A and B are shown apart, each in its own frame.
Chain A
Amino acid sequence: MSARDTILGKLRAAPRSAPVEADVAAYYAGTEKLVGLTALKHWAALMRAVRTEVLWVRESDWPQTLAEEVATRGVRTLLLAPSTAHGARAAAALAELAEPPLRLGFDRPIDGWKATLFNTVDAAFTRVRAGIALTGSLIAWPGQDEPRTMSLVPPIHFALFDTRTLHPDFFSAMSTENWAAGMPTNALLISGPSKTSDIQQTVAYGAHGPRELVVLAVVPDDIDLADLEADA
Chain B
Amino acid sequence: MNEATLTYYPSRDFKANARAALADSNLRQSFRGAMDFLMGKRAAQFPDAHELAELRKLGESIRQKSLARLPELLERLEAKLNENGVTVHWAETTEEANAIIHGLIAAKGGKLAVKGKSMVSEETELNHYLEARGVTAIESDMGEYIVQLAGEKPSHIIMPAIHKTRADIAKLFSEHIPDTPYTEDVDALIQIGRQALRQMYVTADVGVSGVNFAIAETGTLCLVENEGNGRMCTTVPDMHIAITGIEKVIEKLADVVPLYSLLTRSATGQPVTTYFNMISSPRREGEMDGPREVHLVLLDNGRSQAYSDEQLRKTLQCIRCGACMNHCPVYTRIGGHAYGTVYPGPIGQIISPHMLGLENTVDLPTASSLCGACGEVCPVKIPIPEMLMRLREESVRDPHEKVAHPLRGQGAGVDREVKLAWRLWSGVYSKPGAYRFFGWAATRLRGLTPRHQLGWTQNHVPMKPAPKTLHELMRERRKETAR
Q: Which residues of A are interface residues toward B (Cβ below 8 A)?
A: 2-4, 6-8, 10-22, 24-25, 27-28, 46, 50, 106-111, 114-115, 118, 134-137, 143-144, 147-149, 152-153, 169-171, 174-175, 179-180, 183-202, 204-210
Which of B146, B164, B276 has its CB near the most chain A CB atoms (within 10 A)?
A: B276
Measured CB to CB, the nearest residue on chain A to B41 is A201
A144 to B284 alpha-carbon distance, docked (Å): 9
B70 at interface by CB-CB < 8 Å:
yes
CB proximity of A76 to chain B, nearest CB, Å: 18
Q: Is A186 within 8 A of B279, CB to CB?
A: yes
**Selected contact of A180 from candidates B65, B217, B313, CB within 8 Å:** B217
Given contacts A22-B58, A24-B58, A199-B189, contact A208 B289 (CB under 8 A): no
**Contact across chains for A106 and B288 when beta carbons are under 8 A apart:** yes
- A69 and B399 CA atoms in complex are apart in Å by 71
Of A147, A193, A199, A202, the residue contacting B290 (CB under 8 A) is: A147
Among the 9-residue stretches B12-20, B220-228, B460-468, the one with 4 or more Cβ atoms under 8 Å from chain A is B220-228
Which chain B residue lies CB-closest to A25?
B254
Instruction: List, sorted by A's number, 28 A–B pairs whose CB atoms are closer than 8 Å.
Output: A8-B74, A11-B70, A12-B71, A14-B309, A17-B64, A24-B255, A27-B258, A50-B274, A118-B199, A137-B272, A144-B287, A148-B235, A153-B232, A169-B257, A175-B254, A185-B284, A186-B235, A188-B275, A189-B276, A191-B274, A192-B274, A193-B274, A198-B160, A200-B165, A204-B187, A207-B227, A208-B198, A209-B275
Q: Mark B142-161, 1 if CB is under 8 A from A, else 0.
A: 11001000000000000111
- Cβ distance A72 to chain B, nearest Cβ, rounded Å: 21
Given A147-B289, A148-B231, A199-B186: 7 more A-B contacts, CB < 8 Å: A3-B90, A11-B70, A27-B55, A185-B290, A190-B275, A191-B274, A198-B141
Given the interface pairs A6-B92, A118-B201, the reply to whether A184 lies near B307 with Cβ below 8 Å is no
Q: When the two chains form their complex, are residues B202 and A114 in contact, meaning their CB atoms are under 8 A apart? A: yes
Contacts of A195 in B (CB 8 A): 226-227, 274
Task: State the Cβ distance, B34 to closest chain A Cβ, in Å.
Answer: 6
Contacts of A188 in B (CB 8 A): 231, 275-278
Of A6, A110, A136, A189, which one neighbours B275 at CB under 8 angstroms? Answer: A189
Asked if A208 contacts B227 (CB within 8 A), the reply is: yes
Given the contacts A7-B246, A118-B199, A208-B232, A183 and B218 also touching, CB distance less than 8 Å: yes
- Is A186's CB under 8 angstroms from B278's CB? yes
Q: Which 6 A-B pairs have the closest CB atoms?
A: A209-B228, A198-B143, A135-B272, A189-B276, A22-B61, A4-B90
Chain B: minimal CB distance from A172 (Å): 10
Contacts of B187 in A (CB 8 A): 204-205
B229 contacts chain A at the CB level, 8 A cutoff:
yes
| Interface set, chain B 433-466, CB cutoff 8 A to A | none
Is the pair B228, A208 in contact by a Cβ cutoff of 8 Å? yes
A17 in contact with B67 given A22-B58, A22-B62, A24-B58 (CB within 8 Å): yes
Checking B91, B160, B232, B286 against A152 with a beta-carbon cut-off of 8 angstroms, the contacting residue is B232
The verdict on A170 contacting B257 (CB below 8 Å), with A14-B308, A180-B218 known, is yes
B243 interface hit (Cβ, 8 Å): no
B61 nearest in chain A by CB position? A22
Complex interface residues of chain B between 285 and 315 (CB less than 8 A to chain A)? 286-290, 298, 300, 304, 307-310, 313
Expressed in whole angstroms, the Cα–Cα distance for A111 and B283 within the complex equals 12
Candidate in B91, B187, B288, B309 with the most chain A CB atoms within 10 angstroms: B288
Q: Of all chain A residues, which has the CB nearest B260?
A: A170
State A4–B71 Cα separation when bound (angstroms).
10
Q: Which residues of B contact A197 (CB under 8 A)?
A: 159, 226, 268
Whole-angstrom distance between the Cβ of A229 and the nearest chain B Cβ: 22
The answer on a CB contact under 8 Å between A209 and B280 is no
Given the known inter-chain contacts A148-B289, A174-B253, A202-B186, please indicate yes or no for A185 contacting B282, CB distance below 8 A. yes
A181, B273: Cα distance in complex, Å: 25
Query: Known interface pairs A7-B304, A204-B190, A209-B227. Does A183 touch B280 (Cβ–Cβ under 8 Å)?
Result: yes
Q: A10 to B62, Cβ gap below 8 A?
A: no
- Asked whether, in the complex, the Cβ of A24 is within 8 Å of the Cβ of B252, the reply is yes
Q: Which residues of A contact B424 (CB under 8 A)?
A: none
Chain B residues within an 8 Å CB radius of A110: 236, 288-289
Hey, which chain B residues are within 8 Å of A148, CB to CB?
231, 235, 289-290
Does the CB pair B190–A199 fall under 8 Å? yes
Give the complex CA separation of A85 and B288 in angstroms.
Answer: 19
Within 8 Å by CB of B271, from A28, A136, A187, A205, lies: A136
A209 touching B300, Cβ below 8 Å? no
Asked if B228 contacts A14 (CB within 8 A), the reply is no
Complex Cα distance A204/B201, Å? 21
> Chain B residues with Cβ under 8 A from A22's Cβ?
58, 61-62, 64-65, 255
Chain A residues contacting B219 (CB-CB under 8 Å) are 183
Cα(A196)–Cα(B225), bound, Å? 9
Q: Does B197 contact A (CB under 8 A)?
A: yes
CA distance A106 to B289 in the complex (A): 9
Q: Is the CB of A194 within 8 A of B286?
A: no
Question: Is B430 an interface position by the 8 A CB rule?
Answer: no
